[in-house]
Amino acid sequence: MKKVAVIGAGSMGTAVSILLAGNGHHVRMWSPFEEEVYMINTYREQKHKLPGARIPENVTCTTDLEETLEGSDLIILVTPSHTVRQSARRISKYIRGSQVISCFSKGIEEDTFLRMSEVINQEIPDARVVALSGPCHAEELAFGIPSAYVAASVDGSAAEFVQDVLISPTFRVYTNPDIVGVELGGAIKNVIALCAGISDGLGFGDNTKAALMTRGIMEMSRLGEAMGARPETFAGLSGIGDLIVTCTSTHSRNRRAGILIGMGKSMKEA
């Protein structure tokens, strides 16, 4: 049994905590919102974002960051990508030594164009960072629907440690040393998913979406290779796998935004 700190108590943070608790780990979630902490600890449910998903008793939630991190074997960041730097900076004062930090957040930092692992390493230079990515929606993970993911790191032992902590009968985790390709796949597939949603909103068919997705994965692969990734990474779960689920799922926010834009809404309205 490990002590795991989960930074973020939204939909994915809650889903990951449910998974970890099911694996027998002791989980401490952190949220900056008192009402969210009260809701999770009192009702054992993230009523706003994951209604119906029961949170086990071996999960606790608090606004106290030091308490959340104390004695943790693993720290998992599950905050929106635009807040990852802020989150890493906040936890940095409590980190001692080469802590393993894994990150479920997908994206590219807007001002610096850095990947999430690069952002974390800027704020916590000694951290052993593992990027987590793949085709997985919190709405399904929380209810134990079979899913698969990728743990990527230049530190193979750190990736394998995260794999061992997360893997379950319904959540398969693969390791990959190509952290550049894994992180880029999880971020830039959102552009193609937005386009796929626009196609749906315009009333186009499966032919159109198939063309977008197929040519899209080629563009992703070529861009990734130019940025130092392995092109074959984009043929895996964190590339084509994540692209498929984001372009087709009803849970996909990017696809839903694209649908509204395709129907005539402005970007702000969508």
The string over 92-102, giving b where at least 16 C-beta atoms fall within 10 Å of a residue's C-beta and e elsewhere, is: eebbeeebbbb
What is the rounded CA–CA span in Å between residue 85 and residue 83? 6
The pLDDT profile of the chain, 270 residues, written as one tens digit per residue, is 999 999 999 999 999 999 999 999 999 999 999 999 999 999 999 999 999 999 999 999 999 999 999 999 999 999 999 999 999 999 999 998 889 999 999 999 999 999 999 999 999 999 999 999 999 999 999 999 999 999 999 999 999 999 999 999 999 999 999 999 999 999 999 999 999 999 999 999 999 999 999 999 999 999 999 999 999 999 999 999 999 999 999 999 999 999 999 999 999 999
The string over 2-22, giving b where at least 16 C-beta atoms fall within 10 Å of a residue's C-beta and e elsewhere, is: eebbbbbbbbbbbbbbbbbbe
Active site residues: 189
**Owner of token pair 């693993």:** 74
- What value, to the nearest 5°, has the Cα angle with vertex 144 and ends 52 and 188? 100
